[in-house]
Structure 1
Amino acid sequence: MEQEFKQGYWMHRILSNLNRLDVDRLDDADRERVETARDPLKGVSLLTRPGDGAGADAHADS
């Protein structure tokens, strides 16, 4: 579980950093790169599983 937490933390940090960029000051190519990187990260949460396409149940496995 610790590995999943770390991955979620880093995805959150990356998205936060991308959102802080002043895209109005970037050229068109760089603006497109930022949007391309930011869009998939917006739909990711700690409860999303790769290939799942939806959020996973919030139940812990016993």
Structure 2
Amino acid sequence: MDQHVKQGYRMHCVLSNLNRLDVDRLDDADQERIEQARTLLEEVSLLTRPADGDGRDARADT
């Protein structure tokens, strides 16, 4: 299986699990952490190269 497919699947699973949590039962700090994690996962691009340090997306415009 392609590495990008594996990473995408894993991120999808993590996001799905976060969305299934009953956050109403958590304290305010945990609710904030869950929301931050969801936001970060939704913004992740598999083609972003964090090792570059410049934060630019590595996708080529076609």
TM-score, length-scaled by structure 2? 0.71
Partner Cα distance (2:20, 2:31) in 1: 13
- Displacement, 1:44? 3.7
- Displacement, 1:40? 1.5
* Structure 1 moving runs of 4+ over 3 Å: none
More helix by share: 2
RMSD of equivalent CA atoms: 2.3
Q: What is the 5 A alignment of 1:1-62?
A: 2-44=2-44, 48-50=46-48, 51-52=56-57, 56=59
Identity of aligned residues (%): 61
Structure 2: gaps (5+ residues): 49-55
